[in-house]
Homo-oligomer: A and B are copies of this chain.
Amino acid sequence: MERADAARNRSAILAAASRLFAAHGVDAVSMDAIAAAAGVGKGTPFRRFGDKAGLAVALLDERERELQGRILSGEAPLGPGTDAAPPGPGTDTAARLRAFSEAYLDYALGHLDLLRMSETSSPGARYRIGSYRFWHRHTAILLGELGWVDPDAGAHALLAPLAAEHLGAVASELGTERLRRAAADHLDRLLGSGT
């Protein structure tokens, strides 16, 4: 179990990081500054969170879990719904994918800079963090239900345009409204719009 001082420092660091990120932007805040603001030594944030990306992940954790909860056990179309039947061709799998894409977009666009920090700090970071594995697994399962040949690979391809890096660039070039419409169109084309 976690020692008392460790727990105290963890929350102090998270609070300081949250405050400084909101005030100056994620990129403009150094780990030194966070440690100083939290009243801890420079090494502590690294021991606690690994690196700056890990800190971002920890800050995103709460919102993330909420979305994951809605997916796992929330209402349709995002979640499985109250339907007692086991998941299968009966439920509208395509609708669940569409709902996921929209919900994820909402989540991501609301925390773009934090998400980008969590995904782009080290090479391949995005694909290693737990949350990506979750989104990937969820997507792959649904694609499997739809009969895709290689759901794992398909899920990666489906998630690629949802990367923070991509969203940030496209949103700033085309605006979020066009981005949302394009994401919906894209999914319709992949899943078959009418089906």
Contacts and interface: CB of A to CB of B under 8 A. Distances in A.
Given A120-B123, A160-B160, A190-B189, A182 B153 contact: yes
Interface in A22-40: 27
| Copy total for this chain | 2
B189 A149 contact: no
Interface residues of A, number: 35
A111 to B, nearest CB: 15
Given A153-B174, A156-B161, 17 more contacts: A116-B123, A123-B168, A124-B165, A124-B168, A127-B169, A127-B170, A148-B185, A150-B181, A150-B182, A153-B170, A153-B185, A156-B173, A157-B183, A160-B160, A160-B161, A163-B165, A163-B166
